[in-house]
Structure 1
Amino acid sequence: MQIQKAIDNLDRLITDVEDARLQLSEHHIVKIIGISKYSQSEDVATLYKAGQRAFGENKVQDLKQKMSDLEELPLEWHFVGRLQKNKINNLIDLKPTLMQSLDSLELANELNKKLEAKNKKMNCLLQINSAKEDSKAGVMPEVAIETYKKIIQSCPNIKLKGVMSIGAHVNDEQLIKQSFEITKTIFDELQEYGAKYCSMGMSNDFKLAIKCGSNMIRVGSSLFK
């Protein structure tokens, strides 16, 4: 990716984010995570030069590779994919800034156990399946608050920082909006338990997500195309 292309992509994205953010409130701040899963380390480095600092990967192996390739850059790395139990130790060793896809109490217990063994802590978001789609991971919205509290109580090495969800995979904007609103309602209730981030919105729906209250978006193609 050419540096000018990266600057143009980032500028366009920031303009769109600003537009959506201001429709909600001028005080609303949105953090952009560049999802680099289909891109090369060089592309991440180019976007870094353009001004982007936070990136996310959905495979532990790819995260390890890019972190190693780009270790001289002060990047913030997020893990956003399904975490297989046999990869937990590998992820802990990589020390991501935020693990966004903690999708069950069972995974939380397993992760906490291994964090304890290594005397480490990890910042995580609870993933909520707000659209109730079989293809998506995450806890069901009805039990999300209860699950969040259980993780706080029983997993001291996990620092919950909020929630994450993926918008409904449909063409009907009303249904996508509804799935975002469900997540935002849960997030609002969890703020008294330390929830800071409501991560929702990807390249095709981040504007809608921001208008529904998202303060963290995960965009790949908008930045890397």
Structure 2
Amino acid sequence: MTTITSNWQAVHAAIAAAARAAGRDPATVDLLAVSKTFPASAVREAYAVGQRAFGENYVQEAVEKMAELADLPIEWHFIGPIQSNKTRSIAEHFAWVHGVDRPKIAARLSEQRPAGLPPLNICLQVNISGEDSKSGVRPGEVEALAQAIAGLPNLRLRGLMAIPAPASGETERAPFARMRELQQQLNAHGFRLDTLSMGMSHDFAAAIHEGATLVRVGTAIFGPRNYGETT
């Protein structure tokens, strides 16, 4: 058994255990394998085990990987900060985008989504911990952004995404609970959000306890990253 295979199985078991501990059906939590900086061969290996959704942060790296893996029906998610000059490539190649935090970016993604492709699934990024170093809208600005995006023709607003500040103990779950409350508030105002993209290798158990429907796990599956020149 390879390292990626055994790691993937261990992560799946941990997700299932966290879901059961929260009184949830493990089938309600999806795993997004974050494959940024890892080669196409690593993605192919994880796919062979059963992983189908993969997350990428760097557009050029991702597009090259997609070409190498074109024989596999992978669901590709873009999860990094979005530059205006990258929106066309993102709109053309990805099924999901997790980091939308500006109406301008959303409008460009909608305009540049090719005809014939299904609507691009969108999660709004929320700066839930109020960190200056992180992207995302403040919680009080989420509904206005959702309203601005909801009417765009080639997008489907699916949910919210966050990367909370590192925490431990009783405080670890608090930002995830606030994200769940935000989703509930938006749905009470007529939105139909079904996705909470939150939780990574170090904190997905806490996120699952508070309602995460998709957890983003990279290092726990693929191992430590070696950051080189990626765009």
* Length-normalised TM-score, structure 2: 0.88
Match of 1:181 in 2: 177
Q: C-alpha deviations, 1:4-41, integer Å up to 9, x for none?
A: 22221111101110111012223351000000112111
Match of 1:55 in 2: 54
Match of 1:22 in 2: 20
- The match for 1:128 among 126, 129, 134 is 126
Match of 2:210 in 1: 212
Structure 2 unmatched runs, 5+: 224-231
Number of equivalences:
218
Segment drifting more, 181-190 vs 103-112:
103-112
Match of 2:229 in 1: none
Measured after TM superposition, the shift of residue 196 of structure 1 is 1.1
Segment drifting more, 172-181 vs 79-88:
172-181
Measured after TM superposition, the shift of residue 103 of structure 1 is 1.6
Measured after TM superposition, the shift of residue 92 of structure 1 is 1.6
Match of 2:99 in 1: 101
SS in structure 2 of the partner of residue 131 of structure 1: coil
CA contact (8 A) 1:127 1:138 kept: yes
Matched, 1:65 2:64: yes
- The aligned amino acid for 1:103 is D
Segment drifting more, 38-47 vs 183-192:
183-192
Measured after TM superposition, the shift of residue 123 of structure 1 is 1.4
From the two aligned structures, give the one with the greater helix fraction: 1
Q: Distance in 1 between matches of 2:171 and 2:131?
A: 12
Measured after TM superposition, the shift of residue 66 of structure 1 is 1.1
- The 5 A counterparts of 1:23-172 are 23-27=21-25, 29-94=28-93, 96-115=94-113, 118-119=114-115, 121-153=119-151, 155-168=152-165, 170-172=166-168
Q: Distance in 1 between matches of 2:60 and 2:184?
A: 34
CA contact (8 A) 2:88 2:108 kept: no
SS in structure 1 of the partner of residue 157 of structure 2: strand
Structure 1 unmatched runs, 5+: none
SS in structure 2 of the partner of residue 195 of structure 1: coil
Change (3 A) 1:194 1:68: same
Q: C-alpha deviations, 1:98-142, integer Å up to 9, x for none?
A: 111112223223333334xx5463211111111111111111101
**Identity within the alignment, %:** 31
- The aligned amino acid for 2:67 is S
Change (3 A) 1:189 1:71: same
- The match for 1:7 among 2, 5, 12 is 5
* Length-normalised TM-score, structure 1: 0.90
CA contact (8 A) 1:131 1:179 kept: yes
- The aligned amino acid for 1:223 is I
Measured after TM superposition, the shift of residue 44 of structure 1 is 0.6
